Amino acid sequence: MTTDTASGIPFIDDNVFLVFDLETTGIDVTRDLPVSYSILTYLGNSLASQLYSLVYPGVEIPSEASAIHGISSEVAERVGSDLRDGLYQIVLSLLKASQSGWFVVGMNVAFDLSMVNFAAKAILGESLIDYGFNAPVIDTLVLDRHLEPYRKGRRNLDALCVRYQVESGGFHNALEDTKMTFAVLVAMLREFPKATDLLEPSTCTSTMQALHEKWLNGYNDYLVRGGKDPIAYNGWPFSSAI
């Protein structure tokens, strides 16, 4: 499966991208687990492959999480892959990207990578870091915060779709989210072509890390001025929080 459409953006058309998203049992990257995953591979702007699956996490999916992504424990147990098999497929795909020098792209992708890192360590015996993952990572959330730091309003995926005039896929779903995330990246780089200077493969991840730290420092200053506790920095794109 390949859909051929050139973007007209050299950085996009000349590279390979693995776009990645999870739906999960919750927001604790150290303990929560995937309930679905989507992994799309783009050769330039052309969708070359897509992998999407539900995962049965082996635990009850909280109703609060099901209300967001629509995946119940009953459905996941009936049609989802085994957690170990699902994690193995995710790790295998991410390591292929790393070994091939492909960009790994996501929206708030540090959340997804961190959860896989912890879950793989607990269930497969080795984390992504243990396996040597070192792909260049692009996070559309980090990039958007850098490009328009003073824009008001939300910065979730739906908001970015509105901002960059990307058609939303509707219901919250990992497969649709990966498609929208890549479309947002393309639209973002079309509007801000100089942003590609930040995405040199050998320094992309460290640049994203520095941009995230810069945003977090500014946001923490804002919180402290308002009498609130700052957010701890636990690393990027892998959280070390225990």
Give domain limits for the chain: 10-225
Give the residue-averaged pLDDT of 10-33: 96
How far apart CA 166 and CA 162 sit, in angstroms, is 6
How far apart CA 158 and CA 170 sit, in angstroms, is 9
**What architecture does CATH give domain 10-225?**
2-Layer Sandwich (3.30)
How far apart CA 49 and CA 19 sit, in angstroms, is 11
Give the residue-averaged pLDDT of 55-80: 91
Which pLDDT band holds residue 68 (cuts at 50, 70, 90)? confident
Question: Each residue of 101-114: pLDDT tens digit?
Answer: 999 999 999 999 99
Question: Each residue of 202-211: pLDDT tens digit?
Answer: 999 999 999 9
In the prediction, which pLDDT does 158 show?
93
Lowest mean pLDDT among 42-51, 72-81, 191-200, 204-213: 72-81
Which pLDDT band holds residue 170 (cuts at 50, 70, 90)? low
In the prediction, which pLDDT does 171 show?
61
In the prediction, which pLDDT does 121 show?
97
Give the residue-averaged pLDDT of 183-210: 98
Q: What does the DSSP assignment read for 94-163?
A: HHHHHHHTPEEEETTHHHHHHHHHHHHHHHTSS-HHHHT----EEEHHHHHHHHSTT--S--SHHHHHHH
Strand partners, 37: 22, 53
Query: Is the pLDDT assigned to residue 31 strictly greater than 80?
Result: yes
Q: Determine what percent of the chain is predicted with pLDDT higher than 70.
A: 96
In the prediction, which pLDDT does 172 show?
72
Q: What is the pTM of this model?
A: 0.94
Mean pLDDT, the chain, integer: 94
Query: Is the pLDDT assigned to residue 59 strictly greater than 90?
Result: yes
Query: Is the pLDDT assigned to residue 141 strictly greater than 60?
Result: yes
Give the residue-averaged pLDDT of 47-56: 96
